[in-house]
């Protein structure tokens, strides 16, 4: 049996800080009390009691002159202010991450937002958070939140702010976040789940998936320890929640080959170490247990036949083969070329000594007492089983497109050849299917004929589902002003249609540019990636009006940010009139050179000096911001040149 200890087991930053603050206070020789248990672990509390640290439940119980330590869960504003007014030395051991939540709900209330707290109502941390605002709503489940939101439909436009208990699960938080965005129009959302908690929970889930049994160590009153056990049970049937090593039961681990250990944020390192050590001792005890003689005899005379699927233990990895103990009179071995379908892998990359593996019997030699085995063949059979299951359950599989042929493309899925008809490739009719070759692809298996080794798949089925999911996501989160990175799908005389990730919106020609344009093609082309924002939308008709031109793109804004009166600019003569000439300084920004400002002498008409298309240096002599008019002068520059001479 192997034992794996989770990397993120035990004290988190906030708990470790709180424990250190108590130890430091106790070392100073003053009378020390904590307002409530410093953390949710009775071993730690008892340890501090032995050091003379007491526990009080209300501020009134605090002895005069004593050091009062606020526990890591924090307290409400009223209790905090009460302690500050008393004759005590106050030490605040509130977790900094919890402190941040207190600040968020205070600020929300100042903005006239209703704080919504996701967490356990009776948990000290949640009660403390609620204590930093005059009114809040607390929800333990997404269903509670949704029922309340529907009942309060008249408050749909009410400003709200949502935070979470630091030890909540990410899955619970994401569900609540989705509901809030759907039911409210004016919200602020702050993901306040502690990252250490998030890492601990994710690691526990991964470990539980890989192990046959899980040991969760921690105080049964600890919220995050309870959640750890719940998460482990979602992935592993054999989960044991213990407070300390003495509670371990040997019977729970009989026949178990891999055990994982994790621990809550309030579990001291010495308890985790003791549990890990005890589990290591159990491995020795379990190995020493005698097998039933009748079972051993039956195993020794067990026969093997070609085509059997058997389980064995890797005993050694030689120079040409891997030795396998099958528990029979036969010596099992796997030639190197039968270990894996991937020739680039070494046998030690695939199997390790002590691994229990399932193999396929290729040949049995009773005279020599040997049995040739293959892991590669069994893996191949399992892949076909997986393909069959994927077809039946309509699940998504991943592969790589290897070639294009007359009717479509071919993909490799774990060594199995999958044909994808052109109509299911996701490429438009007449498009370039060769562009898929060499690229990974997600697909659904639509047909399997195992006897003929024929498999048909569909990339289009996956992209259609993804597009549908993206469609629903966009419509659940869309709001005026929201920005999207989109792709121009098509152009019309009146605008451009842009795909913003599963949904098409339309940018009217008037919203493409600040300049007057006749055709959208003057600004964008099909396939361009552009940033757009929502101007308006109709959820019933599923129509979205998008904007592309921004205030920053406004030519007048660009002009005023770049030029001022007195500056010299390069301009292009765009039109000649009897009273002067119009010159383009920037695309979309023209200035007037009055006839009196064209030359340093009197002229009858602008054509005597200027021509359309000519580039000239001009001086900006006046800017009328209200009417967006600019006065330019060539004469002023000529005068300056004369003065310089």
Contacts of 174 by beta carbon, 8 Å cutoff, 6+ apart: none
> For 553-567, what is the HEC assignment?
HCHHHHHHHHCCCCC
Q: If DSSP codes are grouped into helix, strand and coil, which group holds residue 504?
A: strand
Measured distance CA(623)–CA(560) in Å, rounded: 9
Q: Using CA atoms, how far apart are residues 471 and 463, in angstroms rounded to an integer?
A: 12
Cα 345–351–354 angle (5° rounding)?
165
291, 297 Cβ separation under 8 angstroms: no
Given the residues 111, 125, 281, 398, select the one marked as catalytic: 125
**Tokens coding 360:** 């396929």
Token pair 């979470």 in the structure block, residue: 164
User: What tokens does 104 get?
Assistant: 């968020």
Q: What are the phi and psi torsion angles at 433 (to 5°)?
A: -70, -20
- Contact indicator for 436, 428 with CB cutoff of 8 Å: no
Could you tell me which of 306, 264, 255 has the C-alpha nearest to residue 283?
255
- Tokens at 622, concatenated: 């006046």
Sorted by sequence, the CB contacts under 8 Å of residue 45 that are 6+ apart come out as: 37, 38, 39, 55
CA 522 to the chain's CA centroid: 39
The two three-digit tokens of residue 284, written as one number = 């020795």
Indicate the helix (H) or strand (E) that contains 171.
helix 170-183
615 carries an active-site annotation? no
Quick one: tokens of 455?
């498999």
- DSSP of 340-391: -S-TTS-HHHH--TT-EEEEEEEEEETTTTEEEEEHHHHHHHHHHHHHHHHH
CA pair distance 171, 98, nearest whole angstrom: 20
Indicate the angle between helix axes 195-210 and 223-235, nearest 10 degrees. 30
Tokens encoding 566: 């007195």
Cβ-contact 208, 260 below 8 angstroms:
yes
Between the alpha carbon of residue 56 and those of residues 49, 93, 223, 266, the distances in Å are 12, 15, 21, 19
| CA dist., res. 517 & res. 106, Å (int) | 51
Q: How far apart are CA 193 and CA 223, in angstroms?
A: 13
Q: How many CA atoms are closer than 13 Å to the CA of 64, on its beta-carbon side?
A: 0
Q: Which residues contact 231 (CB under 8 A, 6 or more apart)?
A: 169, 201, 204, 205, 208
Backbone angles phi, psi at 620, to 5 degrees: -80, 115
Q: Which of the residues are catalytic?
A: 125
């Amino acid at each position: 049996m192997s034992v794996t200890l989770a990397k993120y087991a035990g004290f988190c930053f906030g708990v470790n800080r709180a424990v250190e603050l108590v130890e430091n206070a106790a070392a100073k020789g003053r009378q020390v009390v904590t307002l409530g248990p410093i953390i949710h672990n009775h071993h730690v509390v008892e340890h501090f009691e032995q050091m003379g640290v007491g526990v009080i439940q209300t501020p009134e119980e605090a002895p005069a002159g004593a050091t009062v330590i606020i526990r890591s869960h924090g307290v409400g504003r009223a209790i905090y202010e009460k302690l500050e007014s008393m004759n005590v030395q106050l030490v605040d051991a509130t977790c900094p991450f919890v402190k941040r939540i207190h600040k968020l709900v205070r600020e929300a209330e100042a903005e006239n937002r209703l704080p919504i707290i996701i967490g356990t109502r009776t948990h000290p941390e949640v009660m403390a958070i609620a204590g930093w605002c005059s009114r809040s709503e607390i929800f333990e489940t997404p269903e509670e939140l949704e029922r309340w939101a529907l009942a309060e439909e008249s408050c749909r436009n009410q400003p709200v702010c949502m935070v979470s208990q630091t030890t909540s699960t990410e899955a619970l938080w994401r569900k609540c976040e989705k509901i809030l965005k759907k039911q409210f129009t004016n919200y602020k959302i702050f993901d306040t789940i502690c990252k250490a908690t998030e890492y601990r929970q994710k690691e526990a889930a991964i470990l539980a998936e890989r192990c046959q049994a899980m040991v969760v160590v921690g105080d049964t009153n600890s919220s995050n320890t309870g959640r750890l056990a719940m998460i482990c049970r979602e992935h592993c049937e054999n989960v044991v929640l213990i407070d300390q090593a003495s509670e371990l039961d040997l019977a729970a681990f009989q026949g178990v080959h891999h055990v994982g250990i994790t621990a809550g944020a309030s579990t001291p390192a010495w308890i985790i170490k003791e549990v890990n050590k005890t589990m290591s001792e159990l491995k020795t005890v379990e190995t020493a247990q005698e097998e039933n003689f009748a079972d051993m005899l039956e195993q020794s005379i067990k026969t093997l036949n070609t085509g059997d699927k058997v389980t064995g233990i890797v005993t050694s990895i030689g120079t040409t083969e891997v030795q396998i103990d099958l528990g029979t009179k036969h010596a099992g071995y796997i030639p190197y070329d039968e270990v894996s379908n991937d020739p680039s892998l070494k046998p030690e990359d695939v199997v390790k000594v002590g691994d229990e593996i399932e193999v396929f019997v290729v040949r049995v030699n009773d005279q020599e007492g040997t049995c040739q085995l293959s892991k590669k063949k069994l893996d191949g059979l399992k892949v076909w089983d997986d393909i069959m299951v994927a077809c039946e359950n309509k699940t998504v599989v991943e592969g790589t497109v290897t070639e294009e042929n007359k009717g479509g493309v071919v993909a490799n899925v774990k060594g199995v050849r999958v044909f994808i008809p052109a109509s299911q490739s996701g490429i438009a009719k007449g498009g370039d299917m060769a562009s898929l070759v060499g690229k990974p692809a997600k697909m659904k298996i639509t047909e399997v004929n195992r006897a003929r080794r024929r498999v048909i798949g569909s990339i289009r089925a996956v992209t259609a589902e993804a597009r549908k999911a993206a469609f629903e996501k966009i419509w659940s989160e869309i709001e005026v002003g929201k920005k999207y990175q989109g792709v121009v799908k098509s152009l019309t005389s009146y605008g451009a249609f842009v795909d913003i990730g599963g949904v098409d919106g339309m940018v009217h020609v008037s919203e493409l540019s600040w300049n007057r344009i006749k055709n959208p093609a003057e600004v964008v082309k099909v396939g361009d990636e552009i940033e757009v924002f929502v101007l308006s939308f109709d959820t019933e008709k599923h129509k979205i009006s998008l904007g592309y031109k921004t205030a920053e793109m406004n030519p007048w804004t660009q002009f005023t940010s770049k030029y001022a009166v007195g500056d010299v600019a390069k301009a292009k003569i765009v039109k000649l009139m009897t009273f002067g000439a119009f010159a383009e300084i920037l695309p979309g920004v023209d200035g007037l050179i009055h006839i009196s400002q064209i030359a340093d002498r009197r002229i009858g008409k602008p054509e005597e000096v200027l021509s359309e298309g000519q580039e000239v240096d001009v001086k900006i002599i006046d800017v009328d911001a209200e009417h967006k008019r600019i006065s330019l002068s060539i004469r002023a520059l000529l005068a300056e040149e004369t003065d310089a001479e």
